[in-house]
Amino acid sequence: MRATLIHGTRDIRLAEVPDPTVHLPGDAVVRVVASCVCGSDLWPYRGVRPATEPRRIGHEFVGIVEEVGAEVRTVAPGDFVIAPFAISDNTCRHCRHGITTSCENGAWWGQPDRHGVMVDGGQGERVRVPLADGTLVATPEQPDPALVPSLLTLSDVMGTGHHAAVSAGVRAGSTVVVVGDGAVGLCAVLAARRLGAERIVAMSRHAARQELARAFGATDIVAERGAEGVSAVKELLGGIGADAVLECVGTKESMAQALDSTRPGGYVGYVGVPAGGPELPIDKMFGGNINVAGGVAPVRTYLPELLGDVLSGAIDPGRVFDLELPLDEVAEAYAAMDERRAIKVLLRP
């Protein structure tokens, strides 16, 4: 079968690899129906976190179960399943607290597991799924193909945007600012609307992304950044910052933007992968009671709840995919996202 490997900076190749098989009794093998490229895949792509040797990549996919190990109970061959971006048993102490990304037996796609066995990446034709019972969530029946993009966002970006909103305590009536207009930021807008936010300010300088933000529920757009952006936000929100600021980028500048846009006593909910920092300025946080919550999103925990809303049509996060390519063109998919020609690219094997 074919799967995507990253060889080095801006070097993405599709290669022939052995077909996956059930290796452990808790494994499943899934035939991929759709996968995609993540903003965090761009870190190794851009050399910010360089790949030192060719390795499998991709951590978002949906597909059909082809085979399961002897111990698998919750999914069966033929099921349509969603794979979260982290592998978890969903039974350990951290999973029971809902933090499946800290699973005591967990693993990550494209990286060695606890036993040193490499786990497949998601950007391929088939994937071996360890801890299939804990990791995968099956839809009640075969979904309408039109729903596949939205289901695919539950692998990562929709659950991640939701985590930002939940971590920041967004509730009915909240004032919200979203920093970042990538797929996660746009999903954070949708998540904030879903949780009942009254005002949602999306910070974006790109017309197409502004439009999608409005479609997802943004009530206001701020194109300015830095001090001007903070002033514009405060002007919209009665002279003070927001109750909740959702930081969906992960740079020093975006975190500063978020902290400065939060009212005293408010929360920054952050999910942008911190690219080697920044450290957080505790003096500023302390003086204003600016709280910082979030981290790597335990999307598995949120999947059942969000799945219901996708299947009912209440939310349509799949609109973040503005480009669809065959897996053959995975290198172009990375380039399109790297150059910001696409918000998010869906890949069909």
- List residues near a second copy by CB under 8 A: 93-94, 97-99, 101-102, 167, 238-240, 255, 263-265, 267, 270, 273-274, 276-283, 285-296, 298
Complex with a second copy: residue 141 or 286, whichever CB lies closer: 286
**DSSP β-ladder status, 11-16 and 28-36:** unpaired
Q: How far is CA 186 from its chain centroid?
A: 11
Smallest gap from residue 293 Cβ to a second copy (A): 4
Complex with a second copy: residue 8 or 288, whichever CB lies closer: 288
Smallest gap from residue 279 Cβ to a second copy (A): 3
Q: Which residues are bridge partners to 182 per DSSP?
A: none
Complex with a second copy: residue 150 or 167, whichever CB lies closer: 167
Residues 6+ apart with CB under 8 A from 143: 80, 151, 311
Residue 4 CA to residue 17 CA, distance in Å, equals: 9
Smallest gap from residue 240 Cβ to a second copy (A): 5
Smallest gap from residue 161 Cβ to a second copy (A): 15
Complex with a second copy: residue 26 or 298, whichever CB lies closer: 298
Complex with a second copy: residue 276 or 313, whichever CB lies closer: 276
Contact 112, 119 (CB under 8 A): yes
Q: Which long-range contacts (CB under 8 A, 24 or more apart) does 324-327 make?
A: 324/348, 327/2, 327/4, 327/14, 327/35, 327/123, 327/124, 327/125
Q: Which residues are bridge partners to 268 per DSSP?
A: 245, 292
Smallest gap from residue 245 Cβ to a second copy (A): 14
- Determine the 3-state secondary structure of 262 from DSSP: strand
